[in-house]
């Protein structure tokens, strides 16, 4: 297992699904972890497990779409952990899956706020702390839908297309600080948010050859990106999908 000893990581959306799996894996690899999310009971449970394992685990209740709340939460996390070396922008999702004109504008905007603006707010607040470290990492959990057009889910596609462009722009801006910025595309993963359309371990209902993964299946790629040495890849997209993007 890669060694993250003496590193401090902040995982958004860390109370469930992919974020929870990554947070626990980073702690097992030696990192102290701040778990950030909206549901206190969930992030408290993850932080308690991390602390029980011998690492420092803290929980910060925060909605990533609230810029002021993000700034406060990340400042508190940096103070408690003493540093931030790894930021995983994992919080996201979207429930508006109808065509424009038939959609709910509030839900359309919410997908942009959580996926794109949330990634921006958390990154902006964390960058001053990441600059203080050595070979710090930003991992933006994106989606293959941000690389392809598709009917009936334009809010999620547009938000994740923005995340991918933001990843590349940010990688260029932070290259001199030796902060790597990469996108992680999990492909279809069974979580609480996708339980109405996916079944774990089964083929994708619409994409031939694609399979529905578990949150734990995403961990090895997240560990790879978090443990790269100085001068490692940046501005790249790494995918677990089983189809061209």
Between the two ends of the chain, the Cα-to-Cα distance in Å is 29
190: annotated active-site residue: no
Please compute, for residue 131, the number of CA atoms within 13 A of its CA located in the half-sphere on the CB side: 11
Distance between CA 109 and CA 94 in Å, rounded? 10
Looking at the DSSP assignment, which residues form a beta bridge with residue 183? 140, 237
Look at residue 181 and give its three-state secondary structure: strand
Distance between CA 135 and CA 79 in Å, rounded? 20
Look at residue 88 and give its three-state secondary structure: strand
For residue 39, give Cα distances in angstroms to 12, 16, 61, 104.
Answer: 12, 9, 7, 24
Which residue out of 121, 129, 156, 190 is catalytically annotated? Answer: 156
> Residues 5, 199: contact at Cβ < 8 Å?
no
Distance between CA 113 and CA 128 in Å, rounded? 22
| Residue 161 CA, distance from chain mean position | 15
Active site (catalytic) residues: 156
């Amino acid at each position: 297992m890669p060694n993250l000893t003496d590193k401090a990581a902040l995982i958004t959306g860390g109370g469930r699904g992919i974020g929870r799996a990554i947070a626990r894996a980073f702690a097992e690899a030696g990192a102290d972890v701040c778990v950030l999310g909206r549901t206190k009971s969930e992030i408290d449970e993850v932080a308690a497990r991390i602390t029980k394992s011998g690492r420092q685990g803290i929980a910060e209740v925060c909605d990533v779409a609230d810029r002021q709340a993000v700034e406060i939460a990340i400042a508190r996390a940096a103070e408690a952990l003493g540093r931030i070396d790894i930021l995983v922008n994992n919080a996201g999702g979207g429930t508006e899956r109808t065509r424009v004109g038939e959609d709910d504008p509030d839900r359309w905007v919410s997908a942009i706020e959580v996926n794109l603006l949330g990634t921006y707010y958390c990154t902006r607040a964390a960058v001053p702390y990441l600059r203080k470290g050595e070979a710090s990492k930003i991992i933006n959990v994106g989606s293959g839908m941000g690389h392809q057009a598709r009917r009936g889910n334009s809010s999620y596609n547009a938000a994740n297309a923005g995340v991918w462009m933001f990843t590349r722009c940010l990688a260029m801006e932070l290259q001199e600080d030796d902060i790597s910025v990469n996108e992680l595309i999990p492909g279809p993963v069974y979580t609480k948010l996708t339980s109405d359309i996916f079944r774990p371990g089964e083929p994708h209902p619409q994409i031939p050859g694609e399979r529905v993964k578990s949150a734990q299946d995403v961990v090895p790629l997240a560990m790879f990106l978090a443990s790269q040495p100085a001068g490692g890849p940046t501005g790249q997209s790494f995918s677990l999908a089983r189809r061209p993007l």
